[in-house]
Amino acid sequence: MGKMSRNMIYGLLRTGELPSVVIGGRRFISAEAIAALVKRSTTTRSPAI
């Protein structure tokens, strides 16, 4: 998922901001969930320098 750290991804999973499903001992994140996260996070503003 780009330059996102593992801790950030797990944080998003914990808060429910990034939905997933657990099957057996594995966690899966759908392409739709990733696309929705990107859409919610997209901005037209430049970061402050």
- Please report the pLDDT score of residue 42 as a whole number: 84
26/48 Cα distance (integer angstroms): 38
Q: Quick check: is 25 in a domain? A: yes
Instruction: Note the pLDDT of residue 44.
Output: 81
Residue 45 CA to residue 34 CA, distance in Å, equals 21
Span 1-47, pLDDT tens digits:
667 899 999 999 999 999 999 999 999 999 999 999 989 888 888 77
Neighbours of 18 (CB within 10 A): 19
Distance of CA 22 to the CA centre of its chain: 15
Residue 11 lies in a domain: yes
Q: Does residue 49 lie within any of the structural domains?
A: no
Per the structure, the count of domains in the chain is: 1
- State if pTM tops 0.75: no
Residue 28 lies in a domain: yes
Give the pLDDT confidence score for residue 1 in this predicted structure: 61
47 in any annotated domain: no
